[in-house]
């Protein structure tokens, strides 16, 4: 019977910024498209046309330089029962970050052509969590009295996906516009996940004297991964314009790997002084550890084929517009995103047990279908109201990884997200200024805990882990985010029409 339980949970840094690595539509580029929630495949994308539909690059009337930023972002996440029943994680963070820079060129001598070069941040996600548990209970079966049970959990993940692109569009006829863009994508991941657990008796049951007077059982699991993956992909877009309706379609190719660097992968698991709870007999101590880097590590961050379609409808008064976009992303069968050959000295004292894919990280994706709707209203000659809504379904939530074990995937809090946007655009001395906000929310329940530290046993045969309890599907994740936008565009050459 437990005499007392004391749990201390320390969160020193916990950061979740907008943009989840397992969601395709978390991006926010320039403010024009962001305030319409990205429902701009049929037109109205402004400087982000190179991404949403390169055919709409032709909508530019005059050459312009655009700098767009999420001026402030406030992000909050609560993860109930993340490390066991009653052991929650939560965070709140504010951030300032530029996201999109572009230059759109409208040649005076070739009016049917329009060009654009752009740098954009497609994803930027950072998470850091430090948590500790310290409790008095009965974990060890071979000792008398209660034990001190301590655990330290550390999680860090930083992922960026930066794109540099060039695009062009041309009018094939009065109604048909064709566009194409090419991007170089740089995906960078730095990931660390570690768990260190110790348990030792509060009442000494080991004979005094000698170096072995102190007895402690331990379990350690450390993972580390780092890489930069350089890839190429293309977008082909088409727009068909009618008097009050514009229809668009964009096809995005899967990316092609070109080069990778900064590659390092390490994994270590260790167990010592653990007894079988049923028999009281000692289980083997073991150490399994390996590290590879550079050319010995292979990286391939696959991306899906996608098709987006959209429409932009102009009401009769010419002051109101309705935008609708949808995009289908193909599924990706589970694959080895990172892999390396194991060392011949990988395992020690494990009774001859063989290990494979020890330095392998897998990924994959379910097919996803997202929808966005936007609305704009010209309030005056120089003032425009924009609003929108979009879905952003998670492509790894409840994904079946087949024969791969979950130890070989990057751990994430997977949840579906929903976005509401609203803002104003006005002209000031011939230049565009856009301000507004975005609210994002998401909730998912009945997810499997990251680890169970609230009800530990000396050895868990269900999990095949020492000093942990059996994880259950009672983790709930609640996410809220508010972004305040501020952007401007500098127009060159011909004056913009009202």
The whole-angstrom separation of Cα 246 and Cα 339 is 46
Q: How confident is the model at residue 432 (pLDDT cuts 50, 70, 90)?
A: confident
Q: Tokens standing for 180?
A: 């194409």
The whole-angstrom separation of Cα 337 and Cα 333 is 11
Matching residue, tokens 């749990």: 7
pLDDT, residue 4, reads: 38
Q: Is 82 helix (H, G, I), strand (E, B) or coil?
A: coil
User: Which residues, other chains included, contact 299 with Cβ-Cβ below 8 Å and sequence gap of 6+?
Assistant: 227, 229, 257, 260, 263, 337, 338
User: Which residues, other chains included, contact 438 with Cβ-Cβ below 8 Å and sequence gap of 6+?
Assistant: 28, 34, 35, 419, 420, 421, 481, 482, 483, 485
Matching residue, tokens 């005059």: 62
Please name the residue ranges forming H helices in 203-310.
none
CB burial of 145-182 (b: ≥16 within 10 Å; e: otherwise) equals ebbbbbbbbbbbbbbbbbbebebbbbbeeeeebbbbbb
Closest CA to 177 of 236, 115, 239, 113: 239
Residue 350 has pLDDT above 70, yes or no: no
Q: How confident is the model at residue 267 (pLDDT cuts 50, 70, 90)?
A: very high
Could you tell me the maximum CA-CA distance found in the chain, to the nearest angstrom? 94
CA 470 vs. chain centroid, Å, equals: 27
pLDDT, residue 62, reads: 80
Q: What is the mean pLDDT of residues 179-196?
A: 96
The whole-angstrom separation of Cα 254 and Cα 329 is 10
pLDDT, residue 18, reads: 36
Q: What is the mean pLDDT of residues 135-147?
A: 88
- Return mean pLDDT, the chain: 86
Closest CA to 55 of 291, 186, 246: 246
- pLDDT tens-digit series, residues 359-379: 999 999 999 999 999 999 999
pLDDT, residue 431, reads: 67
- pLDDT tens-digit series, residues 215-245: 899 999 999 999 999 999 999 999 999 989 9
Domains and CATH numbers, the chain: 31-206+213-491 (2.40.160.60)
CA 472 vs. chain centroid, Å, equals: 24
pLDDT, residue 71, reads: 66
Q: How confident is the model at residue 351 (pLDDT cuts 50, 70, 90)?
A: very low
Cβ contact 258:301 at 8 Å: no
Q: What is the mean pLDDT of residues 321-326?
A: 97
């Amino acid at each position: 019977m437990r005499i007392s339980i004391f749990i201390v949970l320390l969160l020193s840094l916990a950061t979740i910024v907008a943009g989840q690595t397992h969601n395709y539509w978390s991006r926010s580029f320039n403010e024009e498209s962001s305030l319409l929630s990205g429902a701009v495949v049929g037109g109205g994308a402004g400087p982000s046309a190179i991404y949403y539909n390169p055919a709409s690059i032709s909508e530019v009337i005059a050459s312009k330089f655009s700098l767009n930023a999420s001026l402030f972002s406030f992000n909050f996440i609560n993860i109930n029962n993340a490390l066991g029943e009653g052991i929650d994680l939560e965070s709140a963070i504010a951030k300032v970050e530029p996201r999109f820079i572009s230059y759109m060129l409208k040649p005076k001598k070739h009016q049917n052509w329009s060009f654009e070069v752009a740098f954009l941040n497609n994803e930027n996600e950072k998470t850091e969590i430090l948590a500790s548990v310290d409790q008095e209970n009965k974990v060890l079966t071979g000792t008398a009295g209660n034990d001190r049970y301590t655990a330290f959990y550390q999680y860090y993940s930083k992922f960026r996906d930066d794109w540099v692109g060039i695009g062009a569009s041309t009018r094939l006829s009065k109604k048909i516009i064709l566009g194409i863009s090419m991007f170089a994508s740089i995906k960078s991941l730095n990931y660390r996940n570690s768990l260190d657990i110790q348990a030792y008796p509060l009442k000494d049951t080991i004979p005094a004297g000698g170096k072995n007077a102190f007895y402690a059982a331990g379990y350690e699991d450390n993972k580390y991964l780092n890489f930069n993956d350089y890839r190429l992909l293309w977008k082909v877009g088409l727009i068909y314009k009618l008097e009050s309706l514009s229809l668009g379609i964009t096809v995005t190719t899967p990316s092609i790997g070109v080069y990778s660097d900064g590659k390092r992968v390490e994994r270590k698991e260790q167990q010592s002084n653990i007894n079988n709870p049923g028999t009281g007999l000692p289980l083997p101590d073991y150490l399994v550890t390996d590290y590879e880097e550079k050319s010995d590590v292979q990286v391939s961050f696959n991306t899906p084929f996608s098709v987006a379609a959209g429409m932009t409808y102009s009401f009769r008064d010419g002051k109101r517009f309705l935008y609708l976009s949808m995009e289908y992303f193909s599924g990706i069968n589970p694959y080895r995103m990172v892999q390396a050959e194991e060392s011949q000295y990988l395992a020690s004292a494990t009774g001859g047990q063989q290990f494979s894919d020890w330095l392998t990280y897998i990924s994959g994706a379910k097919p996803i279908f997202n929808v966005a709707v936007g609305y704009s209203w010209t309030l005056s000659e120089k003032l425009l109201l924009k609003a929108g809504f979009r879905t952003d379904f998670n492509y790894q939530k409840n994904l079946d990884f087949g024969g791969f074990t979950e130890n070989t995937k990057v751990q994430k809090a997977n949840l579906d997200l929903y976005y509401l946007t609203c803002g104003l655009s006005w002209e000031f001395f011939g230049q565009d200024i856009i301000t507004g906000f975005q609210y994002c929310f998401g909730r998912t329940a009945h997810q499997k805990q990251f680890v169970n530290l609230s009800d530990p046993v000396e050895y868990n045969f269900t999990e095949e882990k020492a000093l942990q309890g059996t994880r259950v599907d009672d983790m709930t994740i609640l996410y809220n985010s508010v972004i305040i936008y501020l952007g401007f565009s500098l127009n060159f050459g011909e004056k913009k029409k009202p």
